[in-house]
Amino acid sequence: MTITKISAIPDDKEMLRAAVELTRDISTARPEIYWPDMLVSAAVGYGALYGAIAAVLGGQPAWIALAFGLVSSLALYRALLFIHELTHIHETALPGFRFAWNLLVGMPMLTPSFMYEGVHTLHHARTRYGTVDDPEYLPLALMKPWTLPLFAAIAVLLPIGLLIRSALLVPLGAVIPPLRRLVWERVSSLSINPAFRRRAPEGSFRTMVFWQELGASLWALFLLWSAWAWDWRPLAVAMGVISLTAVLNQVRTLVAHLWANDGDAMTVTGQYLDSVNVPPPGLLAELWAPVGLRYHALHHLLASMPYHSYPEAHRRLARQFGNGTTYDKANYPGLLPLVGKLVSSTMVRR
């Protein structure tokens, strides 16, 4: 039996056309949804983080701190993933939202928006997706089985890496140009492709990077000072919460695609079929893939669609095309079947 390479799949022009035509009326970002969602998520996350720290400092039972920590991680995870929206919505669509998000979420969590802006859009480029030039792609399905747990587990170290980057490497890079260039190229983007090298920022984006870097570095230095001068436990609790958040995001990333491309450029339909939707009725996907990311395949058809419109866009396209069609082939029932599919792919002898 001949197996069609995913990079050789032709475009389903009817599906691509329908995706645009059926969703024109829901393609505008609604500030009355964005603002409360982000602000409440951040408030719950920081409130629960305070509860976890207070439980540890007050000698409360461990389960109380763990419960607060879990709530904090899930809420901050949702707040943090608005960084994905910032890369796609027009800068004039939500006045002040980017600034507020960076002030409340991005810089406190040492992941300001520049770490994703200008990088994630490369992942959506027609000729880059799934190739060696894609910063967010690794052919995990074609790699060894042991790479999957390693891929997920390495996220535990992310808060330590972010702290070292902002508190040490960025300040040193300000006075050591070669180090500054190395830090920017290698550790200034939320990418997973180790071969990716980031180009130097230019124009107004460079100015934005400067202020975001400054804010994140000052905050990182304050955190280290507070741990030294006051108590190390609040920082340890916070880093534990962020580690869990990072692992959640890494698991989501693990099943956001099938990771089956061997490096060739792909059609838009090929990109769609290499990506994943986890539509309702399952409820857990809203926890591990919030802010519209449970519709990741649909996102690759309609990248600029605001996250709150994806459920309705999916309902319309599912009604239009039904079971067994190209659109239906990117829909999956949940996290565990996707993990199982990926693990099985790595075990195939090639």
Segment 57-83, tens digit of pLDDT: 999 999 999 999 999 999 999 999 999
What was the pLDDT predicted at 4? 57
350, amino acid identity = R
pLDDT value at 1 more than 70? no
pLDDT value at 33 more than 70? yes
Task: Taking residues 154-178, report their average pLDDT.
Answer: 96
Q: pLDDT digit string (tens) for 214-267?
A: 999 999 999 999 999 999 999 999 999 999 999 999 999 999 999 988 888 899
What was the pLDDT predicted at 2? 35
pLDDT value at 316 more than 70? yes
**Residue 135 contacts residue 266 (beta carbons within 8 Å):** no
Q: How confident is the model at residue 349 (pLDDT cuts 50, 70, 90)?
A: low
Give the residue among 84, 250, 56 at the shortest CA–CA distance from 161. 250
φ and ψ at residue 277, rounded to 5 degrees: -110, 140
What was the pLDDT predicted at 168? 97
pLDDT value at 350 more than 80? no
Task: Taking residues 173-193, report their average pLDDT.
Answer: 95
Task: Taking residues 29-44, report their average pLDDT.
Answer: 97
Q: pLDDT digit string (tens) for 82-109?
A: 999 999 988 788 999 999 999 999 999 9
What was the pLDDT predicted at 347? 83
First to last CA, the chain: 15
**Residue 112 contacts residue 280 (beta carbons within 8 Å):** no
**Residue 113 contacts residue 46 (beta carbons within 8 Å):** no
**Residue 329 contacts residue 12 (beta carbons within 8 Å):** no
Q: How confident is the model at residue 3 (pLDDT cuts 50, 70, 90)?
A: very low
**Residue 45 contacts residue 76 (beta carbons within 8 Å):** yes
SS3 assignment, position 336: helix
Task: Cis check for the bond before 171: say yes or no (omega within 30 of 0).
Answer: no
Q: pLDDT digit string (tens) for 97-148?
A: 999 999 999 999 999 999 999 999 999 988 899 999 999 999 998 888 899 9
CA distances from 57 to 47, 139, 232 (A): 15, 44, 10
Secondary element (H or E) of residue 11:
none
Q: 8-12, 66-70, 320-324: which has the minimum mean pLDDT?
A: 8-12
Token couple for 17: 């056309």
Q: How many residues does the chain have?
A: 350
Separation CA 99–CA 339 (nearest Å)? 36
Token couple for 49: 């983080």
- What stretches of the chain show up as alpha helix (H) in DSSP? 13-21, 31-57, 62-80, 82-86, 97-101, 120-123, 147-153, 158-164, 170-173, 177-187, 203-229, 233-254, 268-273, 285-288, 296-301, 310-321, 335-346
Give the whole-number percent of the chain exceeding pLDDT 70. Answer: 98
What was the pLDDT predicted at 71? 98
pLDDT value at 47 more than 90? yes
